Amino acid sequence: MSIEQLNLMRNETERMIWKAINDGRVRVVFQPVVCAKSLKTISLEALVRIESETGEMISPMVFIPAAEQSGLIRTLGQEVFRKCCEFAVSLREQQCESPRIFVNLSAKQMQDSDLYHQLVSITESFDLKLSDFGFEITESSAMEDLQIALKLMEQLRSAGALFSLDDFGTGYASLSCLSDLPLDVVKLDRSFITGITDKPVSQVIVRAVVDIASHSHLTVTAEGVETKAQCQMVQDLNVTHIQGFYFSQPLSAADTLQWLSKS
Ligand code: C2E
Ligand code: MG
Ligand code: MG
């Protein structure tokens, strides 16, 4: 693909994102994260979608890179956070047990020196607190500018928010992240879970991460658990929390309310 074709494609995606924001076609779905022992839902991960003009849901893998590249991630991220706040309010109104909602932050968002104030002002406008939320970051997004990331994490954690290290194990310096960053949760990447029932090395890695995490007062979430056998294995390895299609796909706000009322 030529540079011109790449640029054209990126511009088309940027236009698509911008139009979706303006037309109100940004959607947020929620995936339950359950406690490995009690199987109760303990948190929700918010995942963005764009609804196309013809009604199909477009994956974030398609548009997050272009949103980052163009700077549209700032507006898109605010829209996602507002929708999470709206949902937190509806949970409160239903007097449902309110699990903490974790929101993904990408590298560009982490470097936005105004992000903390944006988040404070949105939560206050909904009469919510930052302690109702958690944020998921990746090793690369934190390491792009460690000082800025540390400042943001300290501000948000002082306000009661939690931090998860997403896709753990896929970066270059994963272990050093555990000591350098103020974290609460480590999310083991799905690549370790996929082969966990027949790859002894995956089991050894999961066991080691659980061991390190317990010494650092971190909880460990296994991402991408799809089968009963994988679920059993991560439970046996003392993972704290489990997320994956075995329990639930990401759900619309209405379906999440129903899920919570049943669980
Ligand atoms: P992530 O944060 O690691 O999210 C987990 C992804 O794995 C989600 O894909 C989820 O639907 C998928 N997943 C969950 N359980 C399973 C399973 O059992 N099997 C399989 N095969 N997949 C599973 P999704 O929603 O397509 O999101 C992809 C990525 O896009 C996310 O990865 C995150 O990096 C990014 N993303 C999503 N929403 C947002 C957002 O609001 N803001 C930002 N900045 N990034 C986002
Ligand atoms: Mg995530
Ligand atoms: Mg992940």
Q: What is the pLDDT of residues 201-213, one digit of tens each?
A: 999 999 999 999 9
CA of 216 to the centre of ligand 1 (A): 26
- The domain containing residue 109 runs over which residues? 3-262
Which residue's CA is the nearest one to ligand 1's atom 9? 47
What's the pLDDT score for residue 170?
Answer: 86
What's the pLDDT score for residue 10?
Answer: 74
Question: How many CA atoms within 13 Å lie on the side-chain side of 83?
Answer: 24
Query: Which protein residues touch ligand 1 with a CB less than 6 Å away?
Result: 31, 46-48, 59-61, 64, 80, 104-106, 136, 166-167, 190, 224-226, 243-245, 250
| Ligand 1: nearest atom to the Cα of 60 | 30
What's the pLDDT score for residue 7?
Answer: 75
What's the pLDDT score for residue 148?
Answer: 93
Pocket test for ligand 1, best of 56, 64, 225 (most atoms within 8 A of CB): 64
H helices of the chain, in order, are 3-23, 60-70, 73-93, 107-110, 115-125, 139-143, 146-158, 174-180, 190-194, 200-215, 228-236, 253-262
Instruction: Map tokens 């937190």 to a residue.
Output: 88
Which residue's CA is the nearest one to ligand 1's atom 45? 104
**β-strand partners of 58:** 50
Q: Is the pLDDT of residue 173 over 90?
A: no
**CB 43, CB 99: distance < 8 Å:** yes
Q: Is the pLDDT of residue 1 over 80?
A: no
What's the pLDDT score for residue 213?
Answer: 93
What's the pLDDT score for residue 94?
Answer: 85
- Structurally, how many domains does the chain consist of? 1
What's the pLDDT score for residue 97?
Answer: 73
What's the pLDDT score for residue 70?
Answer: 92
What is the CATH number for 247? 3.20.20.450
Q: How far apart are CA 171 and CA 229, in angstroms?
A: 27
Look at 5 and 158; give whichever has higher pLDDT: 158
CA of 147 to the centre of ligand 1 (A): 26
What's the pLDDT score for residue 205?
Answer: 92
What residues contact residue 188 under an 8 Å CB cut-off, 6+ apart?
Answer: 168, 169, 206, 209, 220, 221, 222, 223, 239
**CB 233, CB 203: distance < 8 Å:** yes
**CB 165, CB 138: distance < 8 Å:** yes
What residues contact residue 166 under an 8 Å CB cut-off, 6+ apart?
Answer: 104, 136, 137, 138, 187, 223
What's the pLDDT score for residue 2?
Answer: 79
What's the pLDDT score for residue 262?
Answer: 85
